Amino acid sequence: MKKFFLLLALGSSTVSFAQSSKFQSAIEQNLAQLDTASTAAGFQKIGATFERIANAEKSQWLPYYYASYCGLKAVKFERDLNQIDAKLDKIEILTQQANTLSPNNSEIYCLNALISFARINVDFMARGPEYSALANKALQTAKQLNPANPRAYLLFGQSKYSTPPQFGGDRKLACQYFEKANSLFANAPASSIEPHWGKSEAVRYQGLCQSEVSVAK
């Protein structure tokens, strides 16, 4: 009898390990494609694959997270302003599903900030104050939950860098955020499936900051 239960336990752990390995492999393969995607169609295709993974692995937050992120990347290519809100509504549902599975997650709050920033683009003058405040609140929470999350500082920096000074923009402060983001990216623990996007953007913006300092001199 003891031998039977031992075999049963070993069998159960093997199945669990196989499922875990299959899940990680699927995420890794799609992340490799996400890291090189550059078109709306490409992001949409990868996002659809992440959604299929999410439907198969309903207890995992990462597939929902990446499906949402892919949607946000794709919506940047949308030129019809009347279509943006409907697409963001669908993206927000995916983000909420990720949040349900992993509450108080700094990475998910960064997605919430990106959604708010995207909604501003529909009508900057009318929506700027409301959605800027929502994005700022989400990023503050992201920082509090994980002070070592470089994406929170990157998004703060991008917001301050791109916003006109009369509406709260501050390029000097933005450059400080980019410097902080880059230092955190340099020390971020390696992971094959955890969020790692934003490093190249942080480097690019810090380069712009350094160029502006050189011109000013």
Query: Is the per-residue pLDDT at 11 higher than 50?
Result: no
The CATH number of the structural domain formed by 104-217 is 1.25.40
Task: Tell me the H-state helices in the chain.
Answer: 2-34, 40-56, 61-75, 81-101, 106-120, 124-145, 150-162, 171-187, 199-216
Average pLDDT estimate for 64-87: 97
Predicted confidence at residue 137, as pLDDT, reads: 98
- Tell me which of 20 and 106 has the higher pLDDT: 106
Percent above pLDDT 70 for the chain: 89
Q: Lowest-confidence range among 18-22, 89-93, 122-126, 203-207?
A: 18-22
Predicted confidence at residue 211, as pLDDT, reads: 87
Predicted confidence at residue 99, as pLDDT, reads: 98
Domain range summary for the chain, segments of one domain joined by +: 16-103, 104-217
Predicted confidence at residue 5, as pLDDT, reads: 37
DSSP string, 105-162: -HHHHHHHHHHHHHHHTT-HHHHHHHHHHHHHHHHHHHHHH-TT-HHHHHHHHHHHHH
Query: Is the per-residue pLDDT at 210 higher than 50?
Result: yes
Q: Which amino acid is at 39?
A: T
User: Which pTM value belongs to this model?
Assistant: 0.88
